[in-house]
């Protein structure tokens, strides 16, 4: 990456631990693993450098705690 930005990300502790363990098993830093997973996820969702918004007609279902979705 030529241009990098620093950002703060709040995660549940158990998710952070799972990500850290997975990164270790892949022999990557946590940061490198997160960048890799985000790139793979965006590619799977049909979002690329040419398409900033992706294909909103076929969204990928969100995974997470049910309390994060609207009522």
Q: Does some domain include residue 1?
A: no
Q: What is the 3-state secondary structure (H, E, C) of the chain?
A: CCCCCCCCCCCCHHHHHHHHHHHHHCCCCHHHHHHHHHHHHHHHCCCCCCCCCCCCCCCCCCCCCHHHCCC
In a domain, 53, yes or no: no
pLDDT digit string (tens) for 15-63?
A: 999 999 999 999 999 999 999 999 999 999 888 766 555 555 555 555 5
Quote the CA–CA distance of 6 and 8 in Å, as a whole number: 7
Region 1-7 average pLDDT: 82
CA distance 23 to 12: 17
Whether 33 contacts 23, CB under 8 Å: yes
Range of the domain at 16: 11-46
pLDDT for residue 71: 47
- pTM beyond cutoff 0.75: no
**Domain count for the chain:** 1
């Amino acid at each position: 990456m030529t241009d990098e930005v620093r950002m703060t990300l709040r995660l549940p502790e158990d998710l952070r631990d799972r990500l850290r363990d997975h990164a270790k098993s892949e022999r990557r830093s946590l940061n490198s693993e997160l960048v890799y997973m985000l790139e793979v996820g965006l590619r799977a969702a049909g979002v690329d450098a040419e398409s900033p918004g992706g294909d909103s007609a076929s969204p990928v279902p969100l995974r997470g705690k049910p309390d994060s979705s609207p009522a």
